[in-house]
Amino acid sequence: MAHTYEFPRPALTVDCVVFGFDGTGLQVLLIRRGIEPFLGAWALPGGFVRMEEDLEDAARRELEEETSLRDVFLEQLRTFGTPGRDPRGRVVSVAWYALVRPDQHPAKGDTDASEAAWFPIGGLPGLAFDHDHILAAALERLRGKIRYQPVGFELLPRHFTLTQLQALYEAILGRPIDKRNFRKKLLSFDFLTPLDEFTSGAHRPARLHRFDRRKYDAAAKRGFLFDL
């Protein structure tokens, strides 16, 4: 038997903040809207949740439809529901964030996104809706996260130098880190494996490392205090 509900119901959307690291700086994936409202404006990937959809399924579907990204790390951020945030009516959005490597996920617009592109976090265009607020909240979450969980497996190449890992942390925090203290603290957590491989080129060779996935996942699960 069908039931009716006497009160107005808001629409529900999902929005996704996709962070990437190009080796020097933190980036975010944006789409250019191909429909109104905000036609032609840059925005976070996202869209309306279908009646039969789970929230995470909706977020993953929208990501794939609008940017071609699939099978990525995805974590729920929070809900945004300030009245007036969407000119189409009363719309509540559940935001998610993802961590990927831009070289493995080239930007490709589709469906109602006429274009998709990676932007440096310090050089973003104006964003549609309240997406600047959502992005700021996601960046704050990421900066907090690296203090109690390891971050890097999704953002760095399989083999990397400690300098690259430090550059990642500095890009997320937006400030320099003391090299000696960073390496001492990080190596104490025992989820990095030094390799008998080195970088090549004109500069002094640097040892490559990889994450021990088992120890990395255990550290991420139990958490730790990484005071930077």
Supply the residues annotated as catalytic: 115
Query: Could you give the C-alpha distances from 193 to 99, 167, 179, 216, 225, in angstroms and in order?
Result: 22, 18, 18, 11, 20
Which of 125, 72, 123 has the alpha carbon at shortest distance from 99? 72
Query: Could you give the C-alpha distances from 228 to 66, 180, 204, in angstroms and in order?
Result: 36, 12, 27
Supply the DSSP symbol for 104: G
**Exposed, middle or buried, 131 (CB in 10 Å: 0-12/13-18/19+)?**
buried
Torsion over CA: 166, 198, 159, 186 (sign): negative
Lookup: tokens for 210: 């990889």
How many whole angstroms separate alpha carbon 65 and alpha carbon 61? 6
